[in-house]
Structure 1
């Protein structure tokens, strides 16, 4: 593995032990006394203080980027496309409050309404292809939008992705699969309806504990349904990931591979090669691709090699489950083996990804 010290979480006081830097809690969390009633309590760090005063946990991505820029004596780089990138698509997320053959109205989480004209060529998906006008009210949608977010080009309703390690499988016709989705994400229970078992089993022949599972489906009345295989199941168990090939020791400004999307809310990238102590994830640091160690808050330039849409995105989560897949993406040619980044749903759609296809060929460099 290649180690890039400049991209580790960087405080004002920077120290090293051997070859790897470490950060004292005081670098990010200066101790401050606070009052409780008529008594002065023992000093707390800013991380411990939580909402006391204006304390901010050092794990916050924006704060990490600010501290790193201060330590390096430069401005915080904006999160925007690089010169030469095709501009990302617009996106709208929320629940449908009105829909007709020509107009869709969506209310986002902040209560703001978005009215979009439905393009004549627009398509929609809710468990299967469907006319946009047939989408049900209150369905949760993500819309790929054109012309400043005023025209709906693609609509995905109640879509979800289920990725993890199989813990148990039960049922005869409809299968119920319990998944371990990693230390930082909750376990999930997914139902494979009988009509989809053929498609799922063809691409996932080992529906047994210990093997990886990756499917795309929908949430219907609180039940997660797996309907489409997102990839071919790796032949190895989740704890037997093949080692990466010998690393080339020269400077590699970019790495090619596969980008996928995942069900996490924070906008940005989940990345496999994080130090477990930094990421708070004991399963981090596993990948079959020769990736460098980076830290939460580092910025990557992510380029969709299929249509050249790119953007600078922060690392916001651990991609320990994605790192265990050594598959390839065939969206536009054959990608290099291994998942380099797992994008949040919004970031994936902005870069031209089709949610029901599950991946695109990607080139990633430092932001």
Structure 2
């Protein structure tokens, strides 16, 4: 009876734990989608005229964001350059100190030569009492003159190295000045864009407050989308790289010397749907282009795939929209700034090589070369 009670208690505890995990998971998903659903409700029913105004405002917002990103990137680059310039200046200062020291040493040696004169060297040699002493003195004088020559060579090398470092410093300083001018131009552009946006909002008169509110809400959900999207692309790339495919996912036909594989969009979407860590994500394949959408976040991206390293497909987004509002190229680029969306088929292909890809209606058609057939 005691054992049965323990088993029953353990079973109840396990069920409670599973229920809590399910509750937490659903709450997390709801928390992720709630602001996007609210935004969709707000925009539903807007007239074409109001939507056009909102498109213009959102386009301006994206331009301002891009100007801010450019400003931040240039500031980071300039900070790096300041560090490089400081390092160059220190190397030049150290090199000049070493150069001065070697030059002073050479001066002392030359003064010694001048004071003794060539006659003194002849006397030193002739005063040798025997052949052994004579040879030793000749070798000593030879070493002395050789060391002087080496010192001269070292001094010349130091001078050339210093000249090169100073030239490099001059280039860095000129580049820094150029970057400073670019930064000032970027700041002016950002201020002008914000001023244009404010003027546009002011021209809307009574509806200005409503559009400011719309714009603020879009700005907020766009900011929430970016980290979610980046985590999503990272997870999709991980799933593909792990080879999480059912055995019949890739339909293959062989026409010597090429193996052709067909990956249907429904099969691919089914693979992604089976992973709880992903939001709802849908891929659609049409002739010459692929469409990637996050329906709950109202994000749609269209583009194509390019082959990298023989077994990797990289998605290159070319167009996009957010709640039906067009995305600028810079905004699309920002979505993929940290992680590209890549399909790494290395595990699945086992050393085979992707030779070509064709996007057809409803499927990806892959052309694969198997190197072992040609050995």
TM range (shorter): under 0.3
In the superposition, the TM-score normalised over structure 2's length comes to 0.22
- Name the larger-Rg structure: 2
In the superposition, the TM-score normalised over structure 1's length comes to 0.22
Larger helix proportion of the pair: 2
Larger strand proportion of the pair: 1
